[in-house]
Structure 1
Amino acid sequence: MRCHERFVILTGLLCGGLLVFSSWNAAKDDNTPDQFHKVYWRLIKAEQRGEELSSKLVQMLEKLKNLNNTRANQTISNSSRNSLVNSLSNSSAREFLSPLPYALLYLPHLRENYDSLQPRVHLGQQRSGVSLVLGIPTVRRQKQSYLVNTVSSLLYDLTPEQKKDIVIVVFVAETDSAFVKSVAKSIQENFPDDVKSGLVEVISPSPYYYPNLSNLKETFGDSKERVKWRTKQNLDYSYLMLYAQDKGAYYIQLEDDIVAKSGYSESIKEYISNVDNEQWLFLEFSQLGFIGKLFRASDLPSIVEFFLMFHKDKPIDWLLDHILWVKVCNPEKDSKHCNNEKAKLKRTFKPSLFQHVGLHSSLPGKIQNLKDKDFGKQVLYKAHQNPPALLNSSLKHYQSHSLERAYRGEDFLWAFTPSKGDYILISFNTPQNVKRYRFRSGNIEANGDKFYNTTVQVLPSDVSVRERVEQGLLPCCQPSSDGFVVIGSFVNGIAEGPIDEALRDIDAMRLFVHSSSDAWVILSEIFIQV
């Protein structure tokens, strides 16, 4: 038996030697390129890497499960629990990027660091399951940042219901941690409620994500700096798309220097519902470059693979057009046939919903006056039928943008910088039983011109109601020093809400400024519902 085993072993070694020898000879004769051998081992390593990460995710989930199971028997500090949850959400749970073999093939430097594709989530609640994901890449600009105004424009007139079905992902495409933190701080300070709710997220890439971009081949007459800029831009878009793919049903690509048309969210959803059963690769909601291109989230992985495959070669909008060519164009037919076929895979919505406003490009030294001719004019105010009233204000309006015209729904009020003690007084011709109110400051083109530290006050007709407020018997309201009752205040430029029935009929409403501002103010909507 032992001799038989030796015979089998010797036979196996002999066959193996012959196989190696013959393979060596074949390789020698055929001169097979070494590159294929390298690609093979890269794929093997990528597969092994995916298995390692999957194993780690299982381990992390098991730890979390054990943590929950022992909660009744142990006292666990909030910091410990948060540490584990953050570890889960910021590493394994977001490492869906790492096992992708094509990322390692087209960006081989990623193999050198374990977390080279791991996103840094600076702000956000990991919201997912929404209809629409809005992606905004942003970079350091030499002249002026438009990011806050861009996000403000996107949030401007979203209803509470619409806000629940959207995620806005700001991707800070820089590895300078100080700059990334400054952007996150700015977003947090300007949109605290939207960050808290999970509507707005801020992420950045791993410092190991970007390859060496200093030795790129100059093509199409572009300078070295422009080739570097467009190559990095391709990598930025690809990263953001991969991050967004599991957060919602559709993804729309935006930039950090645009404004959105009022009602854009509803317009997009209505258009999608009309064409969703048809065959298309993307929908266009802007005519400029890559702005406003909407994709099904399920298509993003294959699109990103194409972008990464040619990220050094051409700009992103050219690559997108090449995808269409590959899909539908017949080399044996003319360009007219090709263009007709490509048009079937991209649908254009008009008028455009997004307009480019940035003057200074993210490419240093480049000035771009790009405007979408199909964008049309913005609606800068919202009209309502308000009850007859006598209007008075200490604010001085600019040109013809008066309070009277704003109240009648003919224009918006645009006034010089408010100071402490300034007011707008609306005295009704007869006492009004006001049910709700809404005052919106700023507009989609000048969203920074808002009311800050300003309250909404009413003057009840019944003196006894005022006395009850002063005595603290009506929890809905706070007294002022002159008989008016404080019922609300401006938050993120908007003051709105119902008026308590206990206040009964109202003689007047007043907006009162409690501290001086450093910007002009716009009142773009006055709505008093009776």
Structure 2
Amino acid sequence: MKDFLWILIVIAIAMVFPILFFIRENPFDTASFLSLQEKELVAWQRARMQISSRRTNHLETFKDMQKNSEPFKNVNSCILIGSAPVKKRLLTIGISSVQRPQRSYLLDTLQSLFYSSSLSEQKHFIVLVHLADPDPMWRGQMISNISTIFKPYIQASQLVVINMPLKSYLPLKKLKKNFNGTTAHVAFHSKRNMDYAFLMNFATNHSDYFLMIEDDVKCVPGFVTQIATTVSAWENKPWVTLEFSPLSFTGKLFRTRDLPSFVNFLLLFYQEMPYDCLLSHFHDLLMQQTPVQFLPSLFQRMGNYSFFEGKFNSLKDKEFEEDDISSPNNPAAFIYTSLKATNDSVPMNAYSLNKNFFYAKSAEVGSHLTVVLDSPAEVFRVQVLTGSDLKGENQLKEGQIELGYASSNQINDCDDYILLGLLVNGILNKQVLSNKSGKKVKCVRLLVTATPSSGIIIRHINIWVN
């Protein structure tokens, strides 16, 4: 923290004049969107934050920072999915996602965002995702899943996915070791600072406000209306961010006109400390001494593992109000399967609401168990549980759930399926985001995508309908 000790303001004033002179004589370009006034602001920030008894030549330090900023000249994010909206929206919801050692929650987070918003609310926001992991296989899989599951929102310009090539990043070697962090930890948080900077830079011109969330959160229903109402009440009041969750970077709302300054702040100090700490200092610099927080919180963490090395992290928002999930409906249906069952196990056991289960002694790629509803229905939630309830044995490790819609060509099946989601640890628990072309769901199909090494137990297929 020595590099960030606040000292007498008179020393800062004494130093800022030569820095401002340096800017006018040697204009720097940390990023292409900085005006001269913004450069002066950043220089002032640098003067306030870098003065210490161990640093006397601040002008040279500032020149070094400029040299390190060269890679950011004329860089543009690559759009992987969708296209930027032509019409400016009220809100951009930003998510930066990287691969996690345990599992990814990104698809769940996206589902929660859209499911928790009405059709009228969805017209006022765009979701922007930065796939920031350098692993091309992970990015390819996420692109495929997002493109399939969220196709209606992509077509409506409500979802855009971007990536910034790693060659555009500032150096991630020989970084400063602050807070007694390991080399790997410092490199991880330094890169995350730049991940967020690229995300926010892209979001600057597409809406009036920008909401930052992590990629492992769920939302309360109607969160967009609650944010819009709060913004309306605070429109003429001074604030840097409004906070709708105390969790890390989640639920922090910016005016988009403030994003360029914060983007450059993240880039200038990317190796100094993590983004949430930098945001706190950014508040101080812009004279917001006290966080502006609203309760109850609108967002809650889903997972129990952090980004970095998959370490266990039980941090939850105690102010988040959970929704009670009612019992499933499981309307009348016919069940058929290509799985090879034992003699005393019947497929209907998987759909019953009692403690019975269906056991298949073997399964192959392409095997399925399909629920065909007697009458097509408005399904809003599906839950599939595989494996033993106590020991978790005989799970279907690799499988997916698909929804089929009514078709005049099929009586006991559907010929038009879309992916709902993938099994994770043998389980799927998903909200159904929208009905395809207004059609009602007729079929729910469990599909085996990799041959299991042993038999599988399908404990429950639960359906909620309106």
Q: Secondary structure of 2:249's partner?
A: coil
Tell me if the contact between 2:403 and 2:444 (Cα under 8 Å) persists in the aligned partners.
yes
1:342 alignment partner in structure 2: 289
Q: Secondary structure of 1:452's partner?
A: strand
1:6-25 paired onto structure 2 within 5 Å: none
* Post-superposition offset of 1:119: 0.9
1:123 alignment partner in structure 2: 81
Tell me if the contact between 2:399 and 2:447 (Cα under 8 Å) persists in the aligned partners.
no
The letter for the 1-side match of 2:253 is: L
Cα deviation 1:243-271 (Å, max 9, x = unaligned): 10111111011111222222222222222
Are the structure 2 counterparts of residues 264 and 491 from structure 1 closer, same or farther at C-alpha, using a change threshold of 3 Å? farther
Are the structure 2 counterparts of residues 425 and 285 from structure 1 closer, same or farther at C-alpha, using a change threshold of 3 Å? same
Tell me if the contact between 1:416 and 1:521 (Cα under 8 Å) persists in the aligned partners.
no
The letter for the 1-side match of 2:82 is: G
The letter for the 2-side match of 1:252 is: L
Tell me if the contact between 1:437 and 1:496 (Cα under 8 Å) persists in the aligned partners.
no
Residues 1:439 and 2:439 are matched in the alignment: no
Are the structure 2 counterparts of residues 383 and 124 from structure 1 closer, same or farther at C-alpha, using a change threshold of 3 Å? same
> Larger C-alpha radius of gyration, 1 or 2?
1
Are the structure 2 counterparts of residues 401 and 489 from structure 1 closer, same or farther at C-alpha, using a change threshold of 3 Å? farther
Are the structure 2 counterparts of residues 42 and 189 from structure 1 closer, same or farther at C-alpha, using a change threshold of 3 Å? farther
Residues 1:204 and 2:163 are matched in the alignment: yes
Among 404, 411, 414, the residue aligned to 1:454: 404
Cα deviation 1:431-478 (Å, max 9, x = unaligned): xxxxx96321338xxxx999624334xxxxxxxxxxxxxxxxxxxx72
Tell me if the contact between 1:442 and 1:449 (Cα under 8 Å) persists in the aligned partners.
no
Cα deviation 1:175-200 (Å, max 9, x = unaligned): 45554344323321222222222211
Are the structure 2 counterparts of residues 310 and 363 from structure 1 closer, same or farther at C-alpha, using a change threshold of 3 Å? same
Tell me if the contact between 2:80 and 2:143 (Cα under 8 Å) persists in the aligned partners.
yes
* Post-superposition offset of 1:356: 1.4
Cα deviation 1:366-386 (Å, max 9, x = unaligned): 2212111111213435999xx
For 2:147 and 2:300, locate their aligned partners in 1 and report how far apart those are by CA, in whole Å: 25
1:478 alignment partner in structure 2: 408
For 1:439 and 1:449, locate their aligned partners in 2 and report how far apart those are by CA, in whole Å: 20
In the alignment, structure 1 segments of 5+ residues that lack a partner are 1-33, 51-95, 329-340, 403-413, 427-435, 457-476, 500-508
Q: Secondary structure of 1:290's partner?
A: coil
Q: Secondary structure of 1:202's partner?
A: strand
For 2:78 and 2:226, locate their aligned partners in 1 and report how far apart those are by CA, in whole Å: 32
Tell me if the contact between 1:136 and 1:253 (Cα under 8 Å) persists in the aligned partners.
yes
1:469 alignment partner in structure 2: none
Are the structure 2 counterparts of residues 381 and 221 from structure 1 closer, same or farther at C-alpha, using a change threshold of 3 Å? same
Are the structure 2 counterparts of residues 36 and 184 from structure 1 closer, same or farther at C-alpha, using a change threshold of 3 Å? same
Among 307, 324, 328, the residue aligned to 1:362: 307
Are the structure 2 counterparts of residues 380 and 401 from structure 1 closer, same or farther at C-alpha, using a change threshold of 3 Å? farther
For 1:326 and 1:274, locate their aligned partners in 2 and report how far apart those are by CA, in whole Å: 24
Are the structure 2 counterparts of residues 220 and 273 from structure 1 closer, same or farther at C-alpha, using a change threshold of 3 Å? same
2:184 alignment partner in structure 1: 225
1:192-341 paired onto structure 2 within 5 Å: 192-328=151-287
Are the structure 2 counterparts of residues 247 and 382 from structure 1 closer, same or farther at C-alpha, using a change threshold of 3 Å? farther
Tell me if the contact between 1:355 and 1:372 (Cα under 8 Å) persists in the aligned partners.
yes
For 1:352 and 1:107, locate their aligned partners in 2 and report how far apart those are by CA, in whole Å: 40
Percent of aligned pairs with the same amino acid: 24
Are the structure 2 counterparts of residues 154 and 401 from structure 1 closer, same or farther at C-alpha, using a change threshold of 3 Å? farther
For 2:399 and 2:324, locate their aligned partners in 1 and report how far apart those are by CA, in whole Å: 16
For 1:515 and 1:144, locate their aligned partners in 2 and report how far apart those are by CA, in whole Å: 21
Tell me if the contact between 2:369 and 2:446 (Cα under 8 Å) persists in the aligned partners.
yes
For 1:35 and 1:347, locate their aligned partners in 2 and report how far apart those are by CA, in whole Å: 33
Tell me if the contact between 1:132 and 1:165 (Cα under 8 Å) persists in the aligned partners.
yes
The letter for the 2-side match of 1:378 is: D
1:99-138 paired onto structure 2 within 5 Å: 106=65, 108-111=67-70, 115=74, 117-127=75-85, 128-138=87-97
| TM-score of the pair, normalised by structure 2 | 0.66
1:352 alignment partner in structure 2: 297
Tell me if the contact between 1:356 and 1:371 (Cα under 8 Å) persists in the aligned partners.
yes
For 1:371 and 1:416, locate their aligned partners in 2 and report how far apart those are by CA, in whole Å: 36
For 2:372 and 2:220, locate their aligned partners in 1 and report how far apart those are by CA, in whole Å: 30
Are the structure 2 counterparts of residues 297 and 421 from structure 1 closer, same or farther at C-alpha, using a change threshold of 3 Å? closer
1:27 alignment partner in structure 2: none
For 1:187 and 1:194, locate their aligned partners in 2 and report how far apart those are by CA, in whole Å: 10
Tell me if the contact between 1:285 and 1:352 (Cα under 8 Å) persists in the aligned partners.
yes
Are the structure 2 counterparts of residues 383 and 399 from structure 1 closer, same or farther at C-alpha, using a change threshold of 3 Å? closer
For 1:298 and 1:202, locate their aligned partners in 2 and report how far apart those are by CA, in whole Å: 22
2:371 alignment partner in structure 1: 422
Tell me if the contact between 1:359 and 1:368 (Cα under 8 Å) persists in the aligned partners.
yes
The letter for the 2-side match of 1:118 is: N
For 2:116 and 2:147, locate their aligned partners in 1 and report how far apart those are by CA, in whole Å: 19
* Post-superposition offset of 1:401: 8.3
For 2:229 and 2:374, locate their aligned partners in 1 and report how far apart those are by CA, in whole Å: 40
For 1:217 and 1:165, locate their aligned partners in 2 and report how far apart those are by CA, in whole Å: 42
For 2:283 and 2:136, locate their aligned partners in 1 and report how far apart those are by CA, in whole Å: 38
* Post-superposition offset of 1:39: 5.8
For 1:450 and 1:312, locate their aligned partners in 2 and report how far apart those are by CA, in whole Å: 41
Q: Secondary structure of 1:442's partner?
A: strand
Q: Secondary structure of 1:153's partner?
A: helix
For 1:419 and 1:210, locate their aligned partners in 2 and report how far apart those are by CA, in whole Å: 45
Are the structure 2 counterparts of residues 281 and 113 from structure 1 closer, same or farther at C-alpha, using a change threshold of 3 Å? closer
The letter for the 1-side match of 2:402 is: Y
For 2:107 and 2:221, locate their aligned partners in 1 and report how far apart those are by CA, in whole Å: 17
In the alignment, structure 2 segments of 5+ residues that lack a partner are 1-17, 44-61, 336-347, 361-366, 384-397, 421-431, 450-457
The letter for the 1-side match of 2:203 is: A
